[in-house]
Amino acid sequence: MHDNIWEWVEDDWHDDYEGAPTDGRAWIDEPRAARVVRGCSWNDFAQFCRSAYRSNDTPDGRYDDVGFRLARSVALGP
């Protein structure tokens, strides 16, 4: 989560964690409005560069310091 860009996550924005899922699922409401971005970017102060730091933006926002990380599960076996 520490990189050169803010990273989009699947969760919708909430002011606090009251009522958040406790099983690792994304916290999604309908209709969807602001979304969570985490971390920091090349354009921020060092104290923001931690995965617990979060902010929000609308999905149609376009900036040169916001992106996403691709993840893929790989099956282990013989």
Q: Where are the domains of the chain?
A: 1-17+26-68
Contacts of residue 41, Cβ cutoff 8 Å, sequence gap at least 6? 4, 5, 6, 65, 66
Tens-place pLDDT, residues 22-61 = 998 999 987 778 988 888 888 888 877 887 888 888 888 7
Average the pLDDT over 11-18 and give the result. Answer: 92
* pLDDT at position 2: 57
Q: 21 pLDDT band (50/70/90 cuts)?
A: very high
Question: What is the residue whose two structure tokens read 């900036």?
Answer: 63
Under 8 Å between Cβ of 50 and 2: yes
The overall pTM is greater than 0.85: no
Which tokens go with 10?
Answer: 């699947």
pLDDT of residue 12: 93
